[in-house]
Amino acid sequence: MLNRRTILLGGLAAPLAAPLVLRHGLAAEPVRIGMTQPLTGVVAASGNYVANGAKAAVAVLNRAGGVLGRPIELVLEDNKSNPREAVAAAEKLMLRDRVPVMIGAWSSTFTLAILPKLLEYKVPMIVETSSAARITTSGNPWVFRIAPTSEMEALAFAELLPKFSPPIRKIDFLSVNNDFGRGATEKYGAVLGAKGIPTGRAETMTPEATDLSAQLTALKQSDSDTLFVTTGVEQLTLALRQAIEQRVNKRLISTGGSFPDQLLHNPLPAGQSSDHILFYAPWFPELARHPEVARAYTDEWNRNGWEFAGLTEGFRGYDAVLTAAAAIAGAGKPEAEAIRQALWKVDVKGVNGDIRFFKEGPAGQESGQNHPNAYVVRLADGKATLI
């Protein structure tokens, strides 16, 4: 209950506080950026890393004055590693939170589920991770992808083929049974097939699977020399460890930017190594296209005390927020259609490299696609080296 003393103090404080409220409260209403990631469920590690990257970018940008003279607010929703939940999270962001731009949704399956809602509510989304080609070829003008497609990734990897010794002669695949995994199997198979490297066996696993012994025993029978593994961080770690258990004596390469960070602390047995196609190699920030951006990102990440290995995926969220902020600044107002138009004109210096969009998909309904950089990092005895 209010007593006389409280009212008196309140009365004295109000005239003093009013200018502050006007300057920082009303005048500085935040600009909202919506984001949906798998913060729980089978690919939660990756989702949390990407979300942390986005938070880091928001902190860095806000310290520099925000956007349009207003602070940025990240509205984050968990899609629970589930496409149905991804749609619900996106609808909540667009309808209730009324965000003028979104970032999401990690897995291609979750992103593809959200696409019709972008058309329905006319809100642009920056796709930070998903690699399925259909995302930017299905005729959705509200989609802008900064991540590479599986084909882009495979083409970038193909350029590095001469660096592998002994050379890669025949390949197998172990992929998660969703758009992400199937897309990687198809595109890597096609691109490397065109280079004269045939595919032996292609096995799949459900996203929830933890025991992969049957798949790996079957793959062991193949005469291929290299096994490509495509899945999220948790399952990737299991696949690599179980491949050693099942004596799958092949070169192990992970695709899609997933990095088995647990193997830094609990490495594979001595003499065993694994290669990882990544889009940011935090061990070598000086080799990034824009080292100063990579350093700012890494510093902010470390300031929060987040796990080092998460930097390999966290940059996606960081670059996505930089892109969204650049588009909002370009639009001059936090409105969906204006931001969509501005996204075509952004030229952002990101952690991965320059972010610019070219058109993909049917004429008049094109989506935006960026052309990111890729690295291959070798992990042996808990140490990373760049190939």
Site map (CB under 8 A) of another protein, residues 164-203, x = contact: -------------x-------------------------x
Nearest to 50 by CA among 150, 114, 142, 126: 126
Q: Least distance (Å) from another protein to the CB of residue 323?
A: 25
Pick the piece of the chain touching another protein (CB under 8 A) from 239-247, 289-297, 319-327, 348-356.
239-247
Inter-residue contact 175 to 230 (CB < 8 Å):
yes
Q: Which is nearer to another protein, 260 or 285 (CB)?
A: 260
Residue 268 binds to another protein (criterion: CB under 8 A):
yes
Q: Binding to another protein by residue 246, rule CB under 8 A?
A: yes
Residue 121: both structure tokens together: 């509510």
Q: Does 138 bind another protein (CB under 8 A)?
A: no
Which residues 6+ apart lie within 8 Å of 259 measured at CB? Answer: 233, 236, 276, 278, 309, 312, 313, 377
What does each C-alpha distance from 162 to 167, 195, 228, 249, 285 come to in angstroms? 7, 12, 17, 21, 24
Using alpha carbons, select from 170, 231, 224, 221 the residue that is nearest to residue 198. Answer: 170
Smallest gap from Cβ 6 to another protein, in A, equals: 36
**Under rule CB under 8 A, residue 214 binds another protein:** yes
Q: Could you give the dihedral angle defined by the CA atoms of residues 214, 107, 97 and 319, in that order, rounded to the nearest 10 degrees?
A: 130
Exactly one of 32, 55, 117, 241 binds another protein (CB under 8 A); that residue is 241
- Minimum Å gap between C-beta 214 and another protein is 3
Residue 80 CB, shortest distance to another protein, in Å, is 8
Nearer to another protein, 221 or 304 (CB): 221
Report the alpha-carbon distance of residue 241 to residue 235 in Å, rounded.
10
| Preceding peptide of 166 cis, ω within 30° | yes
Q: Which residue in 97, 245, 299, 337 binds another protein (CB under 8 A)?
A: 245
The residue from 25, 63, 194, 206 that contacts another protein (CB under 8 A) is: 206
Q: How far apart are the first and last CA of the chain?
A: 68
Q: C-alpha dihedral over 332, 338, 340, 344, to 10 degrees?
A: -60
Name beta bridge partners: 386: 377
Is 45 a residue that touches another protein (CB under 8 A)?
A: yes
For residue 119, give the nearest of 80, 96, 84, 91 by alpha carbon: 91
Comparison of 148 and 310: residue with beta carbon closer to another protein: 310
Candidates 34, 36, 47, 197; binder of another protein (CB under 8 A) is: 47
Q: Which residues contact another protein (rule: CB under 8 A)?
A: 38-42, 44-45, 47-48, 78, 177, 203-206, 208-211, 213-215, 217-218, 220-221, 234, 237-238, 241, 244-247, 262, 265-266, 268-269
